């Protein structure tokens, strides 16, 4: 058995032992299924890698893992058709619906890659519109902070002016300290009696309001610095917002740009429909091959084995 046939059995799920006893018709059917699935594997591996690289932002090994996941999903989906022994039109209908969805998804991702430069140009207009829509709301929030800080600065300035006027009038204040001591006094009869004596000391000290003024000045310096930052933010809000929007490009953003391109250009719309039709046909290749051909001897052998097994089970049930 050739490596190609072994590979075909691996991805289609066919049994090599059964195929070894089949005619060339089964081998040709296997090759057709393998070719169809290989086309889908390459297509979706490329789609998965590009999707992970462009929109998820993974490294090359992460993109390869995503591509393998896409391939595994596609292989398992196609096996639902290939390994169906008796024709099941519900499975076929679901596969056609899934093919339609996968064709839309695949053509969208591939077109966004092919129209990359056009999408980037359209994204500039979209981001400009987003900036014009979001910037006024941000400016309102920033202006509210500016007004709050300006009011606080003005209020604290007035307080400091009043304190400075008070300090100018009274740069120092007098502190009074009273000390009581006992002084021995000799009486007329020669006895000694201790009498209390009060001494008052007056000391000029710095007006304590000065420390409050210094603390207020530090707060004013901090608030003025913060006010300058908010003023700069207000001036640069459009540029900062544009930078934020350009930092990460989302799939839905580029999808919106692609839709706008197709709505403006009939050529772009025609190419998208061509790509969609191409992918839809590729997705339905296995279904067409399965429904269009007569059952090969591989399918007949599997059906025969199933019939024999069913008959033996019925006989066993009757004996019991």
Token reading at 268: 């772009």
| More confident: 171 or 278 | 278
Confidence of residue 292 (pLDDT cuts 50, 70, 90): low
47 contacts 71 by C-beta, under 8 angstroms: no
Say how far apart CA 217 and CA 203 lie, in whole Å.
28
Question: For residues 85 and 75, what is the distance between their CA atoms, to the nearest angstrom?
Answer: 17
pLDDT surpassing 90 at residue 118: no
Cα dihedral sign, 109-115-116-120: negative
DSSP label at residue 53: I
Encoding tokens for residue 299? Answer: 């399918």
pLDDT of residue 28: 87
Strand partners, 181: 197
CB-neighbour burial class of residue 82 (10 A; exposed 0-12, middle 13-18, buried 19+): buried
User: Span 208-226, mean pLDDT?
Assistant: 86
Give percent of the chain with pLDDT exceeding 90. Answer: 6
**Run of H or E residues at 308:** helix 297-319
Q: Report the SS3 class of residue 179.
A: strand
Interval 78-108: pLDDT, tens: 888 788 776 667 777 887 888 888 888 888 8
Q: Answer whether 299's CB lies under 8 Å from 13's CB.
A: no
- Summarize pLDDT for 18-64 with one digit per residue, the tens: 888 888 888 888 888 888 889 889 988 988 898 888 777 788 899 99
- Mean pLDDT, residues 273-283 taken together: 86
Q: Are 234 and 139 in contact (CB under 8 A)?
A: yes
On average, the pLDDT of the chain sits at 82
pLDDT, tens digit (0-9, with 9 covering 90-100), for 221-259:
999 999 998 888 888 888 888 887 776 667 777 888 888
Give the residue extent of every domain in the chain.
3-120+251-319, 172-206
User: What letter does residue 55 receive in the DSSP assignment?
Assistant: I
């Amino acid at each position: 058995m050739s490596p190609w046939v072994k590979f075909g059995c691996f991805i289609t799920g066919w049994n090599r032992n059964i195929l070894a006893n089949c005619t060339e018709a089964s081998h040709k059917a296997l090759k057709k299924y393998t070719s169809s699935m290989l086309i889908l594997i390459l297509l979706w591996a490329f789609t998965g890698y590009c999707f992970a690289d462009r929109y998820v932002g993974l490294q090359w090994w992460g993109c390869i893992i995503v591509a393998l996941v896409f391939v595994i999903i596609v292989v398992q989906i196609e096996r639902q058709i290939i390994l169906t022994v008796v024709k099941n039109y519900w499975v076929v209908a679901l596969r056609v619906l899934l093919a339609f969805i996968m064709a839309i998804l695949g053509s969208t991702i591939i077109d966004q890659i092919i129209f990359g430069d056009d999408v980037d140009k359209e994204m500039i207009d979209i981001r400009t519109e987003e900036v014009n829509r979001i910037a006024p709301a941000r400016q309102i929030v920033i202006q509210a902070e500016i007004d709050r800080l300006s009011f606080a600065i003005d209020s604290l300035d007035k307080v400091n002016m009043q304190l400075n006027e008070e300090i100018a009038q009274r740069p120092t204040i007098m502190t009074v300290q009273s000390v009581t001591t006992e002084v021995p006094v000799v009486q007329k009869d020669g006895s000694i009696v201790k009498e209390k004596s009060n001494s008052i000391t007056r000391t000029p000290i710095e007006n304590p309001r000065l420390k409050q003024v210094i603390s207020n000045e530090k707060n004013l310096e901090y608030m003025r610095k913060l006010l300058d930052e908010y003023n700069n933010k207000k001036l640069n809000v459009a540029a900062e917002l544009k930078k934020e929007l350009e930092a990460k490009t989302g799939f839905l953003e580029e999808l919106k740009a692609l839709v706008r391109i197709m709505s403006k250009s009939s050529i772009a719309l025609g190419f998208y429909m061509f790509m969609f039709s191409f992918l839809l046909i590729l997705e339905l290749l296995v279904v067409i091959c399965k429904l269009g051909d007569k059952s090969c001897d591989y399918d007949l052998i599997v059906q025969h084995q199933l019939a024999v097994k069913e008959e033996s089970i019925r006989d066993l049930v009757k004996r019991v």
